[in-house]
Structures are given as structure tokens and as C-alpha cells.
Structure 1
Amino acid sequence: MVRRLHAHGLPLFPNTRPTILYNPHFSPRLSSWHRSGMAVLDYFAHQEKYNLIFAPHYRLFDTHRLKSNGILARYGMHPHMIIDPGSDRSVDMSYTLAADLYLGDVSSQVSEFLTKPRPCIFLNTHRVQWRGNPNYENWTLGPVVSSMDEFALTLDRAFLTHANFLDRQKEYIRDTFGFAAPEDTAAKGAKSIIDFLRLIG
């Protein structure tokens, strides 16, 4: 149902490049933003392969609105980049449905993105020993990058290696929402997503 609501929307970008959604968490203890966020934006600003949607958790700039305005001024002129620190689009699935790859850390929005399985990359900027830790279950859904030196190559390969994670992504969505992705994602799927997002706040 939610996907149908967006099916006839206008394209977000004036090109056919793959679109990356960068969605960092707000907590400095967990987020990739505070250590690598500007490096991520700089990378996308100076390349011509991908579009970027920067739509962080809406609380990231709660007390730093001037900083978000500065980021918008610095990168907002690039036609292949959208900088959105917290509009309705950042929470109504506009971006998760439009993107071709999810880039993030520990945000639960990856669950919303994976109702249609697609490549994911996770940034481990805190060098967490995450394997076997149930708090980092999301990181089994795509490659994990611990250094920006690895980022460009991992990004290019993510589309080619997505098949390695596809079954795990489908299993994750089935366990999280109680339906199979992407076949059974109409009204039941939309309700499950809304209920889940309400639960986690």
C-alpha cells in the first residue's frame, strides 16, 4: 500500500544514477556521523557515479540546527545530492522506497528499507566487535566498513555481491514484520511497518 502511494511520484534526481540513502543514527556513541559523516558527504560530492540522499535520524541535529543549515548550504547546490535533516519525506518512506542502497550504522530505518530487499552497507566507525552481538543483528544484512579507505570499493561491489545477503535480508524482514518480502507487502505490510515504528519511537 505504501509503495503504491509513491509509485507515481516525480523522480528525486534528474539522472538515472543509482541512489544511495545515508541514514546515520543520532547517538554519538553509536552513530557514524560524528566520526565519518562529513567524509561520506565529501565523497559523494566529488564523484559522478551515484546520487546521495542524506536523511539522518531526525534527532541528529536537534540542538545543532545551525550546523544542519551549514551542511545544506555546503552540499545543497549539488544536483545529485539531497540534504534533508528532518522533513516529512525523511519519515514517510519517500527516501527508503526511492533509494537503491542503504548506508547507515544502527538505525532501525534499515527495516523499512528492506521491505524491498536491496544492498546495504554499514559503517563501523567505532570499531565495535559486533559479530555475535544481537544488538548488531542488522550488520548481517550487508558488508560492514570500518574505514573510509575501504568505502569506495565496498560501495562499488555492494551491488554485485547483494545476492550473498539476499536470503538473510528476506529472513530478517519475515522475522521482524511477520511477512515475506517483497511479495506480501500490501496493506498487511504497511500496517506492520507503522506498528513497528510506533513501538520503537
Structure 2
Amino acid sequence: MGLFENPLADLSLVSQLGSKEHRELARGKAVRRSLVLLKNGESADKPVLPLPKKASKILVAGSHADNLGYQCGGWTIEWQGLSGNNLTQGTTILTGIKNTVDPETKVVYKENPTAEFVKSNDFSYAIVVVGEPPYAETFAWLPGTEGQGVADVLFGDYGFHRQAFSALGLKTVDQLPMNVGDPHYDPLFPFGFGLTTTPTKAN
């Protein structure tokens, strides 16, 4: 690979990093296609997702919902990751949701809402970015800088895909490493698991 002969990166293309074209590619090819839908409502007859864009009030909760650094995770700006929105260009999941819903839909963000707060506010829907929503469970991995891609799928502009990873969810840490074909292969959700959805027209 020539790494010893040329150990430093070629900096001539640095100006293209984070360009609009690269971010659109990440949003479409990486973020939208990496979302996995594990559960969609209490029954197949009453799916929760995709969410309608027209709603009176939506709660968005979780520490990662409005934090680009947390969305990117480790091995990005620093190897363990950083918190904050001033680290790089991008769109948080919260901003993506606000950009997607109807202008009359009120979007409320609360990092750690109490049960009393949720009950007293008459929300149409609650989107929990970190944690497990009660009826629709979506796994977003680390969407990086393009949180808009998460909103694209949650609100039905694009559909969910099946997971392309060896396993999602270990039953015990003793299963590591675990890949398809291993004698001990027994994940919570095997390779190819996931509910698919089809894109919906404006709703």
C-alpha cells in the first residue's frame, strides 16, 4: 500500500471533506440504509411508523437527539468522540425532525422528560433517540453528521431496510466475537432481521 514509503496523507483533497455532495451521499447511502426497524406497533395491523408529518405536538427525547458529537460517536473527531454541536457541520436528529414535519407541528425537545411531563403535555407522538420507545423500536447505529437521514425514514420519505450486520444484540458478552457461521452464533436479532416499510406520499 506504500504506507511506509508515503506515511502522510495526501492533503490536496482536504477542501472536499464535508462538502454538500459528500454529506448528501452519507445521508442517502449510509444513514437511511443503516436504520433497522425491530418492532412496529403492538400488532402488524396497527403500525406506528412511519409517523405522520402533520401532528399537533411531538416530543423528542434523549441526550443524543440534539448533539452532533454524540451522533458521530467515537473514532471521529477524537477517538473516544466528543460532545457538542460546534465540532463539525451537520444536522442533528432534532433539527432533521423539525425540518421534516408540517410547519404547524410543534416539536418539543426534552433530554430527560419525566413521566409526569409526558402525561401532562398531550403529545401526539414521542420519539426517543436514546432508549426504547414502548411500541416502535428503531436502531440507528451512529448516524454521523446527517441526522436528517433518520427523519427521512421515520416520517416515511424513505423505507426501512433489513440489517446488513452479522448480529444485532448479544445475549451475553461471552458471545464476542460473533459472526454469521460461528458455532456459537445466536444473537437477539440475526443477520437480515428487520421490518421493511415502503415510502409514503406526503402525509
What TM-score do the two structures reach when normalised by structure 1?
A: 0.30
What TM-score do the two structures reach when normalised by structure 2?
A: 0.30
Higher RCO (C-alpha 8 Å, min separation 6): 2
More helix by share: 1
